[in-house]
């Protein structure tokens, strides 16, 4: 094996190990994340985990005692939704830099792949071939 190819393989392996370590660190951060939203007048606060699951509901003041049950239910639901939105935004911010080209954690359908961007009609224009060619030191003139 030529030293140039060996160097490229070692560099690729080092990049792989770094990506893996970055993903492990991101997983650890995700496991620790939570988001808390508080309703106006501190009627209720809601805490959710990274996945938007409710992990806590608190009533910091006695303001809820002056509310009709339906009004309180609406405030609780809205506060939970607000916390879930915050959690999605924090997760997107954490994950976005690591997403492959053609995939985003933002927008109406987070995590949805843009198939045409990943797998265009001309395969050499796609992310996978471009990455392969760059990894092998090819340039546009050397394909």
Is the pLDDT confidence value at 104 over 70? Answer: no
Give φ, ψ of 136 to 5 degrees: -95, 5
pTM for the model stands at: 0.65
Query: Cα 54 to the chain's mean position, in Å?
Result: 19
Question: How many CB atoms lie under 10 A from the CB of residue 79?
Answer: 21
User: Does pLDDT of 110 surpass 50?
Assistant: yes
pLDDT of 107 higher than 90:
no
- Given a cut of 60, is residue 133 above it in pLDDT? no
For the residues 93-117, what does the mean pLDDT come to?
Answer: 68
Structurally, what CATH architecture does the domain formed by 33-98 represent? Answer: 2-Layer Sandwich (3.30)
d(CA 4, CA 23): 28
17-76 pLDDT tens trace: 988 888 888 888 888 999 999 999 999 999 999 889 999 999 999 999 999 999 999 999
Q: Please state the domain extents for the chain.
A: 33-98, 101-143
């Amino acid at each position: 094996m030529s030293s140039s190819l060996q160097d490229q393989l070692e560099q690729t392996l080092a990049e792989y190990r770094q990506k893996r370590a970055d993903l492990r660190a991101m997983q650890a951060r995700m496991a620790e994340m939570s988001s808390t939203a508080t309703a106006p007048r501190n009627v209720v606060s809601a805490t959710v985990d990274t996945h938007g699951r409710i992990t806590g509901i608190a009533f910091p003041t006695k303001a809820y005692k002056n509310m009709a049950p339906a009004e309180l239910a609406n405030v609780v639901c809205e506060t939970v939704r607000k916390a879930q939105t915050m959690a999605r935004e924090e997760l997107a911010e954490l994950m976005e830099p690591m997403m492959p080209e053609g995939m985003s954690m933002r927008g109406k359908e987070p995590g949805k792949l843009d198939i045409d961007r990943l797998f265009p009609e001309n395969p050499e224009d796609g992310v996978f071939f471009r990455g392969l060619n760059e990894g092998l030191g090819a340039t546009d003139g050397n394909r």
